[in-house]
């Protein structure tokens, strides 16, 4: 392969084109702060499509997780069980409330929190379990619910990567009492920055609105239930600006088409890498029975860390911007300071050291997809 003029980005944010119309509409209404017309539209869409009790748009998934931590009432000394193979916000949201993240290993197949290891990590201080749906492939929420329910633990799904994916017919983000979505530029459906808190347990709905309204009863005031609004509870500035909500509304309108376009590329990769997997060069993503994923990302696991390093180097030289993923939180400086790991973290370390993610974005030309496939095959033959 010639050293390419080609440069294939890892991600290129997809814009539907209708964003500009809705932005103009938002500006014309003169309501540009949060909780306006576009926020209401996006929230209603999420409530209908996903079937959650209430959806609240937030400035980020990080913000939605912080709201969930407030709503759960975790405090200093409390413990929250979560994977170490995740983004920092999954843990940080709870550390901000003084809680201790307790890291548990992931399953070798899905790279999701290993539900078989969760019980051993539960103590008298455990308050919540926070699974992540890695790559938009659903974790076993049924098993986690069965562990959590008898102990009154709250399940909070970090569904940042999970929009429109399902497990056993159920949309990700609707199995736990609370869930968080991300609309960050790197996610399937995006608004630059953005997120949503999904509330499935009705007991959290009223308080969630207060926390979302900076700790005031402003929502009740607007509905005419109180004659002035005041500071009622903990809260912060969690809402999404109407500018971003207008942008998001255009994206949600094409969410199914976006998912389908991503799945087509994902499936092309998956079929092309089957022979490499048969020869033992790579391990492809595993999608368990009953899971419909959303092609959030395509990853490969390479045989060992030095091979991963060499393949990434070679792909980058060929203009393919493949990248690694999480540094395990339990090995990070803040993770060591604020949390602890329970049991062996073998699979977490293995995934972290051996995984690469390939370029995948809506509008990616078929020839680029095939260029990436050839570049991966060639790189593997040379390491």
Ligand X SMILES: *Cc1c(COP(=O)(O)O)cnc(C)c1O
In the complex with ligand X, the residue whose CB is nearer, 60 or 84, is: 60
Among residues 206, 204, 230, which one has the least CA distance to residue 216? 230
Minimum CB separation of residue 87 from ligand X in Å reads: 4
In the complex with ligand X, the residue whose CB is nearer, 197 or 246, is: 197
Long-range contacts made by residues 4-7, C-beta under 8 angstroms, separation at least 24?
Answer: 4/318, 4/319, 4/371, 5/319, 6/318, 6/319, 6/368, 6/371, 7/319, 7/321
Residues 248, 243: Cα–Cα separation, whole Å? 9
In the complex with ligand X, the residue whose CB is nearer, 42 or 61, is: 61
Total residues at interface with ligand X (CB under 6 A): 14
* Contact set for ligand X, span 28-67 (CB under 6 A): 60-62
Q: Is 139 helix (H, G, I), strand (E, B) or coil?
A: coil
Which residue spans within the chain are E strands per DSSP? 54-58, 79-83, 100-104, 126-129, 154-158, 166-167, 170-171, 178-182, 195-199, 291-292, 298-301, 340-341, 355-358
Give helix 255-272 / helix 242-253 axis angle, nearest 10°: 60
Minimum CB separation of residue 360 from ligand X in Å reads: 14
In the complex with ligand X, the residue whose CB is nearer, 60 or 100, is: 60
* Contact set for ligand X, span 128-187 (CB under 6 A): 132, 158, 160-161, 182, 184
In the complex with ligand X, the residue whose CB is nearer, 160 or 356, is: 160
Q: Residue 223 has which token pair?
A: 């509905």
Here's the x/- map for ligand X, 186-205, by CB under 6 A: it reads as: ---------x----------
Among residues 141, 96, 138, which one has the least CA distance to residue 118? 141
Q: Residue 310 has which token pair?
A: 């060499």
Q: From the CB of residue 221, how many other CB atoms can be counted at a distance below 10 Å?
A: 15
Minimum CB separation of residue 163 from ligand X in Å reads: 11
In the complex with ligand X, the residue whose CB is nearer, 160 or 208, is: 160
Minimum CB separation of residue 61 from ligand X in Å reads: 3
Cross-strand pairs, 299: 357
Minimum CB separation of residue 267 from ligand X in Å reads: 22
Q: Could you say whether residue 241 binds ligand X (CB under 6 A)?
A: no
Minimum CB separation of residue 309 from ligand X in Å reads: 23
Minimum CB separation of residue 244 from ligand X in Å reads: 11
Here's the x/- map for ligand X, 83-102, by CB under 6 A: it reads as: ---xx-xx------------
Q: Residue 155 has which token pair?
A: 């399940």
Residues contributing to the site for ligand X (CB under 6 A): 60-62, 86-87, 89-90, 132, 158, 160-161, 182, 184, 195
């Amino acid at each position: 392969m010639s050293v390419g003029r080609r440069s294939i980005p890892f991600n290129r944010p997809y814009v539907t084109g209708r964003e500009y119309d809705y932005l103009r509409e938002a500006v014309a209404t003169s309501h540009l702060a949060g909780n306006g017309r576009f926020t209401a539209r996006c929230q209603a869409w999420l409530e209908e499509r996903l079937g959650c009790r209430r959806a609240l748009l937030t400035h980020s998934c990080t913000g939605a997780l912080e709201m969930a931590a407030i709503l759960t009432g975790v405090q200093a000394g409390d413990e929250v069980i979560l994977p170490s193979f995740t983004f920092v916000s999954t843990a940080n949201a709870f550390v901000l409330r003084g809680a201790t993240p307790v890291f548990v290993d992931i399953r070798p197949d899905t790279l999701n929190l290993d539900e078989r290891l969760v019980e051993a990590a539960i103590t008298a201080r455990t308050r919540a379990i926070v699974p992540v749906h890695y790559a938009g492939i659903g974790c076993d929420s049924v098993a986690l619910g069965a562990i959590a329910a008898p102990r009154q633990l709250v399940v909070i799904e970090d569904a940042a990567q999970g929009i429109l994916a399902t497990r056993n017919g159920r949309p990700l983000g609707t199995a736990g009492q609370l869930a968080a979505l991300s609309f960050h530029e790197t996610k399937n459906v995006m608004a630059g920055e953005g997120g949503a808190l999904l509330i499935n347990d009705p007991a959290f709905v009223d308080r969630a609105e207060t926390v979302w309204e900076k700790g005031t009863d402003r929502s009740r005031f607007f509905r005419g239930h109180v004659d002035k609004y005041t500071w009622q509870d903990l809260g912060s500035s969690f809402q999404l600006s109407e500018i971003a909500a207008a942008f998001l509304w255009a994206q949600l309108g094409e969410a199914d088409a976006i998912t389908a376009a991503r799945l087509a590329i994902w499936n092309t990769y998956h079929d092309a890498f089957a022979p490499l997997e048969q020869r033992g060069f790579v391990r492809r993503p595993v999608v368990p029975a009953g899971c419909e994923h959303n092609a959030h990302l395509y990853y490969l696991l390479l045989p060992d860390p030095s091979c991963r390093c060499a393949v990434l180097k070679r792909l980058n030289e060929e203009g393919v911007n493949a990248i690694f993923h999480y540094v395990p939180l339990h090995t990070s400086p803040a993770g060591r300071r604020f949390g602890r790991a329970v049991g062996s973290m073998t699979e977490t370390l293995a995934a972290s050291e051996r995984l690469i993610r390939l370029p995948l974005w809506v509008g990616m030309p078929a020839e680029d997809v095939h260029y990436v496939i050839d570049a991966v095959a060639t790189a593997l033959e040379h390491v």
